[in-house]
Structure 1
Amino acid sequence: MGLLSKTNLLPVLCCFCLNLTVAIDTIRSSQSINDSEYIISNGSVFKLGFFSPENSTNRYLGIWYNNISVFTVIWVANRQKPLKDSSGILTISKEGNLVVLNGQAEIFWSSNVSNSVTNSSATLGDFGNLVLQVDTTGLVLWESFQHPSDTLLPKMKLSTNLRTDQRIQLTSWKSPSDPSIGSFSVGIDARNIPEIFDWKEGHPYWRSGPWNGQVFLGIRNWNPLYRTRFIVVDDKQGAVFETFTDSDVLHLSRVVLDWQGNGLLTYWDDGKDDWEVVHKNPEDECDFYGTCGAFGICDLLSSPICSCLRGFEMKIIKEWNRGNWTSGCVRRTPLQCERMNNSIEEGKADGFLKLEMIKVPDFAEWSNHVNKEDCRKQCLENCSCVAYGYYTGIGCLSWSGNLIDLRQFSVGGSDIYIRLANLEFEEERNLRVIITITVTIGAIAIASTVFFFWRWMARKKRGNMPNCPLTTMKGESNESLLFDFLNDVKLQDLPIFNMEELATATNNFDMANKLGQGGFGPVYRGKLHNGQEIAVKRLSRASGQGLEEFMNEVALISKLQHRNLVRLLGCCIEGEEKMLIYEYMLNKSLDAILFDPVHQKLLNWRKRFNIIEGICRGLLYLHRDSRLKIIHRDLKASNILLDQEFNPKISDFGMARIFGGNEDQVKTKRVAGTYGYMSPEYAMRGLFSEKSDVFSFGVLLLEIVSGRRNTSICDEEQYLSLAGLAWKLWNDDNIMALVDLTIWDPCFQMDISKCIHVGLLCVQELARDRPNVSTIISMLKSEILDLPTPKQPAFMERQIASNIELTQQGQIRFSICNITTSTVNGR
């Protein structure tokens, strides 16, 4: 009888083992899985088993996505107690708990359910939730969604219950190779109005601003996926939870708190075969909690980024001068009620200063059933109330004590009313009178100065003096003028290097450190004494560019900050030497890799598309999002630098120009740039605008897709330019023949075809037909699905641009196959 039982048992065990490695989603009380086995959710979305993080031999029980190429863990059980070998076992104990054991049956993790049961099972669901329940009744004993790691999934909740003091929050990994609990945690704060907080070691690191029923008011550029919706539920009695849903059940999206404290909203992009980051917090310096201290406000477009609110002054000036603003600001003039309490003469009533497009401060107090006017009155009558605001979906908020974590948005944000003493408003009225008088006198003085300067310039021209913006006056040297100019660029924001320091860094400008040669002059690699690697751009005496371009680049790039623009670290002016010092880009310029038969293989399609998107983001910043509207005028592959991760950074702003607030197009007599990349209206008539950069971008996009230089097509039939060749292949319905063979993959055909389509739209002859950069980004992201049919490109045939003669100031000839940066004097 015993033998028969064993015989019958053997097939059962074999079946069980087979099913564990194929498709079962449940572990029952009599079962277990070892280190090499796993279970898979019913729809094959998630897998549970043992794993080792990258660069680690420790073993953990975890849940990860089953059907994507990037190994992505969403939950870890034994975070604080890793297994040191592959002897781990997941089973259900006799008390009904899920437990992780090692080879010696020691418990390394347990679900810690207090109620003992004998017939429980654990099931992995398609939403990523591991649920332990009683088999007979279905009663849920424990679930992984109630004990998250660093990832929030759709239908999962972050919650806070002040009545029971229970919290469900995310906790970061300690490092990419160590899933133990790190320094950061994210959860929902329920003190008054619901807000999401990111804490670092228990202290606020970032916050979302209050929830108004639709969005969090303090998140800048909030642009989640159209199918992803966040929900916050507040019972107004201390219990709040937040979750998000995804209307597409096949669509993978998640919120992850990375080990550096960044909250990332991501979705899986099948086209890129990778996770795409839709939103990131904190996003910039002003996003960090309390950057500017009490009554300080952070504005990313200001320099420095922190300033005191009107009516307040720096608390500790020395710290502010050192760039440490956390001491904040103090009120300059006491409020009326403060004066009354101190038995001083009453004076006039306080007033409120309206601030617009603001991230409202922390520690708001909510008042129910109060309209906007009552909200103002309620604050005015309460001496401790220092600010108020009224918001749709929330109602009346007021603040007492210090105002912490204020920032200025350029778009979006909310209004807030700051309480000030009446004297502050009187000073404003007096200041307006002074400004009016000053402006009037200044206008007269400027008009007089312009008139006399014009007369002086006229006499200078009659004397055949050169017409140069750097012509010296009364013995002044160009170097003196340059230093005067740099003083206007705020030298405290632009470090000055000395010649000796740069000579040491570059080994006396050794040819072995030379990275390349541009129109400006040679560029050298160097290393400062602190170990920082730099690129030194040295103005050549023989350069076609000169001091004007040098000054222009310093003036522009010192005011610009964007992850897709190269960062200027400083400059050097000593005698005849003029140098610009940049961050060093490990992968040099795009042309050095893209057009090299050996190295171009490093740029697969995903990397090329990332480069295309990065250039677009940099251009959008220059054209629309920076405080200055800037046209680059020399966008080309050699002016796109690549960092260690092949992220693109636009460089070389020597030819760039600032546009006035109402300017859409400017005409110049001095056409400067690179033929092949110039738009027709700029090359022929000197007209440039945003659409000039768009044309250059279109050529660059076609180069990235094809792997060919625009100027390399010398022997093609009909002498076509690259845009002309793309147009011909487009009309022949053979556009894939343009694609670089090293990136060709049928999986990416639609994306590649879309990019070529966008490139052709960018190189159309008429500027009005070309899309602007924001539209290009929407096209590339497939937010615009029906793209217009492109028209014939400009300069389709090479002869149009290959023999240009300008006779007014001498002849200049160009060979389309040997073009570099050129300066052309317009007719």
Structure 2
Amino acid sequence: MAGGVDLICLVFMWSLWSAAYNGATNTLKPGESLNSSSLLVSANGKFTMNFRVYELDPNHSYLVIKWNASHNYAWVANRETPILYPFGVLTLDRNYTLKITHRDGDAVVLYSADSETISGDAVATLMDDGNFVLQEVSDDGSVKRDLWQSFDYPGDVLLPGMKLGVNRSNGHNWSLSCWLTEKSAVPGPFTLDWDPDGHELKIKRHGVVYWSSGVFRDGNASHKWIWIGIALVAVLLAMVFCSMCYLLRRRKLAEMSRICCMMNSNRPTKANGLQNDDLRVFKYASIIAATCNFSDENKLGEGGFGPVYKGKLVTGQEVAVKRLSKRSGQGISEFKNELILIYELQHTNLVQLFGFCIHGEERMLIYEYMPNKSLDYVLFDSTRCQQLDWNKRFNIIEGIAQGLVYLHKYSRMRVIHRDLKASNVLLDERMNPKISDFGMARIFMNDEQEANTMKIVGTLGYMPPEYVMGGNFSIKSDVYSFGVLMLEILSGRKNNSFYNDGRAFNLVGYAWALWKEGAGLGLMDPTLDDSCDKDQLLRCVHVGLLCVEENAASRPTMLDVILMLTNESMSLPVPTKPAFCTERNVITDAIGGNRPEMVASVNGISNSGFDGR
């Protein structure tokens, strides 16, 4: 059955490619252009011309002519000027200027007719020999003269990872794959030179020869057999590599299929709309339509998992689409982890997952849309933070605490989030908080209290010392992260990048210094002055310092935290020196109004893995 599905997919992909190929032309007329989704095909179908992404840099593309029968390149137009993918456009304008344009960059001009007189018309054609030629033509279509051709372009340059076909003087063809492994030692680009006398190919840069074929000499039988042997070994290695890639891909697809089957069997889909207990498998086409093909206008932000886009389904339902980035350190395991966890968890302070979409290498999670975006988007902006008066901030603190209590104690499984921070708390239309991003979370058994890992994940500044230094984590790890986050909400400042008289320290250290001097109110965000309940704020600072204590056993549980915050008659323990705290005498500046300067930095993107010490 699986083989039949693969065959159907191959036939479908072949039909799409054939349709695009048959609809292509070999000419570019004045006013026409070639973009990243179109191509030129020579009349005999031997050569194609289009924008291609080169293997070691998926973010940029080059305009290339290649042989259809192989992966070899006949010509590369913008060798030293890569174009941001997919925004490259080759244009022959009405002034007969042939150029490559792209977004936010200077044009790469291949030919300009400014200094020439063209009496008739001009057309650019991909010839049957692989040459791209701009010709002046008469009214009847006959060629008057060649204005420009690609083979006259100076030098052949190899880019790292590109393959270039080379024609030897005796008529035999062979191809060279140049992989640059030491960029710092030998910076590109390179010039490819053929020595017809010595039948030798040389790679140069600024006249210096970095590589020479040397052994390609006619009549040398021993060298010929050596290269035949090398070719056979290379073919065998390529076959083994392709087989491994195929098996790994099948394994990934099988895993994704298993997830789909599990989700479909455990929770039915209702055709009449999205319900709280539904989990849908979305079609890729519906996600493309909902997000306007992932347009920049719909982009809400980007985190460790990848970019997040706003979408609107055909039913009118607004959603947030989290798309796994290929550059992300996260992969199938994190995707599956978040999918299964949020599928199992239901709480008013946890973000709701509507479904997911798997399309080839694409993996997406579809969430409820949060109109106020994330907490860091509002909290750390000097204008937007004014929306958060004291009551809203206290409600956010309490809501996050309630969500963590559910994860740690009342859900069907004990869950450690491991990446709690302001950017992973979303705000609905009434500024109610919802914890999101469970890609790093871990499930504990009921009788399990802590665990150890050699792969540390999370965000620096929010991770407790026992986790950073030894890889030990427990529910008290989330308590520490909550304490840091609560201090950020009270102060309106990020934990990292504080500076005082040129000496760096963090928000936790600053709060501790103020508390020791009896000036805890110095931590308050100035925008809260009129709305703040001073006693309640001091109690929150007190609880926050208890949460960030160095000894994990001394930190309260999240259930204790809620009791401490809501029961004002409850006496609180005296906090001790927090973890990662550097002593600073900041009380004078705080009272005098000269608070430490905060240098804004990107709110730490989650580290998906670095070795614990």
| Bin for the TM-score computed over the shorter chain | 0.5 to 0.7
Per the alignment, residue 373 of structure 2 pairs with 588
Per the alignment, residue 487 of structure 1 pairs with 261
Per the alignment, residue 519 of structure 2 pairs with 734
Per the alignment, residue 641 of structure 1 pairs with 426
Per the alignment, residue 468 of structure 2 pairs with 683
Give, as a single letter, the amino acid of the residue that structure 1 aligns with 2:544: G
Q: Matches of residues 54-133 of structure 1 in structure 2 within 5 Å? A: none
Give, as a single letter, the amino acid of the residue that structure 2 aligns with 1:509: F
Contact 1:798–1:816, Cα closer than 8 Å, also in 2: no
Q: Secondary structure at the match of 1:641?
A: strand
Per the alignment, residue 545 of structure 1 pairs with 330
Q: Deviations over 1:308-360 (max 9, x none)?
A: xxxxxxxxxxxxxxxxxxxxxxxxxxxxxxxxxxxxxxxxxxxxxxxxxxxxx
Contact 1:552–1:654, Cα closer than 8 Å, also in 2: yes
Q: Secondary structure at the match of 1:719?
A: strand
Normalised TM-score (structure 2): 0.54
Per the alignment, residue 352 of structure 2 pairs with 567
Per the alignment, residue 504 of structure 2 pairs with 719
Is the alpha carbon distance of 1:817 and 1:826 closer, same or farther for their aligned partners in structure 2, counting shifts above 3 Å? Answer: same
CA-CA distance at 1:487 after TM superposition: 2.7
Q: Is 1:696 aligned to residue 498 of structure 2?
A: no
Give, as a single letter, the amino acid of the residue that structure 1 aligns with 2:572: L
Contact 2:395–2:432, Cα closer than 8 Å, also in 1: yes
Q: How far, CA to CA, are the matches of 1:510 and 1:474 in structure 2?
A: 31
Q: Is 1:524 aligned to residue 298 of structure 2?
A: no
Q: Is 1:476 aligned to residue 250 of structure 2?
A: yes
CA-CA distance at 1:797 after TM superposition: 2.9
CA-CA distance at 1:671 after TM superposition: 0.6
Per the alignment, residue 622 of structure 1 pairs with 407
Is the alpha carbon distance of 1:472 and 1:662 closer, same or farther for their aligned partners in structure 2, counting shifts above 3 Å? Answer: farther
More relative contact order in 1 or in 2 (CA 8 Å, sep 6+)?
A: 2
User: Which is higher, the Rg of structure 1 or of structure 2?
Assistant: 1
CA-CA distance at 1:717 after TM superposition: 6.2
Q: Secondary structure at the match of 2:304?
A: coil
CA-CA distance at 1:494 after TM superposition: 2.1
Q: How far, CA to CA, are the matches of 2:569 and 2:557 in structure 1?
A: 13
1:744 maps to which of 524, 529, 547:
529
Contact 2:307–2:322, Cα closer than 8 Å, also in 1: yes
Q: How far, CA to CA, are the matches of 2:573 and 2:502 in structure 1?
A: 28
Give, as a single letter, the amino acid of the residue that structure 1 aligns with 2:484: V
2:392 maps to which of 573, 596, 607:
607
Contact 1:655–1:672, Cα closer than 8 Å, also in 2: yes
Per the alignment, residue 826 of structure 1 pairs with 612
Give, as a single letter, the amino acid of the residue that structure 2 aligns with 1:573: I
Q: How far, CA to CA, are the matches of 1:471 and 1:553 in structure 2?
A: 26
Per the alignment, residue 447 of structure 2 pairs with 662
Contact 2:496–2:505, Cα closer than 8 Å, also in 1: no
Per the alignment, residue 506 of structure 1 pairs with 291
Q: Secondary structure at the match of 2:498?
A: coil
Per the alignment, residue 774 of structure 1 pairs with 559
Q: Secondary structure at the match of 1:569?
A: strand
CA-CA distance at 1:820 after TM superposition: 2.7
Contact 2:497–2:504, Cα closer than 8 Å, also in 1: no
Per the alignment, residue 651 of structure 1 pairs with 436
Q: How far, CA to CA, are the matches of 2:502 and 2:547 in structure 1?
A: 23
Return 5+ residue gaps in structure 2 as ranges. Answer: 1-243, 269-277, 585-598
2:574 maps to which of 774, 784, 789:
789
Contact 1:590–1:638, Cα closer than 8 Å, also in 2: yes
Q: Deviations over 1:30-81 (max 9, x none)?
A: xxxxxxxxxxxxxxxxxxxxxxxxxxxxxxxxxxxxxxxxxxxxxxxxxxxx
CA-CA distance at 1:522 after TM superposition: 0.4
Percent of pairs identical after alignment?
A: 52
CA-CA distance at 1:761 after TM superposition: 0.3
Q: How far, CA to CA, are the matches of 1:716 and 1:699 in structure 2?
A: 23
Normalised TM-score (structure 1): 0.40
Q: How far, CA to CA, are the matches of 1:476 and 1:513 in structure 2?
A: 33
Q: Deviations over 1:536-569 (max 9, x none)?
A: 0000111111111101000100001000000000
Return 5+ residue gaps in structure 1 as ranges. Answer: 1-469, 800-814
CA-CA distance at 1:475 after TM superposition: 7.0
Q: Secondary structure at the match of 1:508?
A: coil
Contact 1:562–1:618, Cα closer than 8 Å, also in 2: yes
Q: How far, CA to CA, are the matches of 1:522 and 1:791 in structure 2?
A: 40
Give, as a single letter, the amino acid of the residue that structure 2 aligns with 1:795: F
Q: How far, CA to CA, are the matches of 1:471 and 1:561 in structure 2?
A: 38
Q: Matches of residues 315-354 of structure 1 in structure 2 within 5 Å? A: none
Give, as a single letter, the amino acid of the residue that structure 1 aligns with 2:261: N
Q: How far, CA to CA, are the matches of 1:512 and 1:479 in structure 2?
A: 32
Is the alpha carbon distance of 1:548 and 1:611 closer, same or farther for their aligned partners in structure 2, counting shifts above 3 Å? Answer: same
Q: How far, CA to CA, are the matches of 2:300 and 2:530 in structure 1?
A: 33
Q: Deviations over 1:699-727 (max 9, x none)?
A: 00000000000113144664221010000
Which segment drifts farther, 579-588 or 490-499? 490-499
Contact 2:260–2:281, Cα closer than 8 Å, also in 1: no
Q: How far, CA to CA, are the matches of 2:307 and 2:501 in structure 1?
A: 33
Q: How far, CA to CA, are the matches of 2:408 and 2:549 in structure 1?
A: 20
Q: How far, CA to CA, are the matches of 1:697 and 1:620 in structure 2?
A: 11
CA-CA distance at 1:760 after TM superposition: 0.3
Q: Secondary structure at the match of 2:309?
A: strand
Equivalenced residue count is: 343
Q: Secondary structure at the match of 2:430?
A: coil
CA-CA distance at 1:765 after TM superposition: 0.3
Contact 1:702–1:759, Cα closer than 8 Å, also in 2: yes
Give, as a single letter, the amino acid of the residue that structure 2 aligns with 1:826: G
Is the alpha carbon distance of 1:637 and 1:551 closer, same or farther for their aligned partners in structure 2, counting shifts above 3 Å? Answer: same
Contact 1:497–1:571, Cα closer than 8 Å, also in 2: yes
Q: Secondary structure at the match of 2:493?
A: coil
Q: How far, CA to CA, are the matches of 1:545 and 1:498 in structure 2?
A: 23
Give, as a single letter, the amino acid of the residue that structure 1 aligns with 2:356: C
Contact 1:721–1:798, Cα closer than 8 Å, also in 2: no
Per the alignment, residue 417 of structure 2 pairs with 632
Q: Secondary structure at the match of 1:578?
A: strand
Give, as a single letter, the amino acid of the residue that structure 2 aligns with 1:737: G
Is the alpha carbon distance of 1:754 and 1:717 closer, same or farther for their aligned partners in structure 2, counting shifts above 3 Å? Answer: farther
Q: Is 1:757 aligned to residue 531 of structure 2?
A: no
Q: Secondary structure at the match of 2:540?
A: helix
Is the alpha carbon distance of 1:471 and 1:494 closer, same or farther for their aligned partners in structure 2, counting shifts above 3 Å? Answer: farther
CA-CA distance at 1:476 after TM superposition: 2.7
